[in-house]
Amino acid sequence: MEKSMEQFKTTLDEHHDWPCDYTFKFIVPAKALAELKSMLEGIPHSEKDSKTGKYTSVSVTICASCSDEIVTIYQKAATIEGLISL
Mean confidence (pLDDT) of the chain: 94
CB 30 within 8 A of CB 49: yes
Residue of 39, 45, 42 whose CA lies nearest to 24: 45
CA within 13 Å, CB half, 60: 22
| Residue 83 binned pLDDT confidence (cut-offs 50, 70, 90) | very high
8-50 pLDDT, tens digit each: 999 999 999 999 999 999 999 999 999 999 999 889 999 999 9
Q: How far apart are CA 18 and CA 79, in angstroms?
A: 26
State residue 23's pLDDT score.
97
Give the CATH number, domain containing residue 55.
3.30.70.260
Residue 1 has pLDDT above 60, yes or no: no
State which residues form the domain around 69. 3-85
Residues in the chain: 86
State residue 74's pLDDT score.
94
**Domains held by the chain: number:** 1
CB 83 within 8 A of CB 36: yes
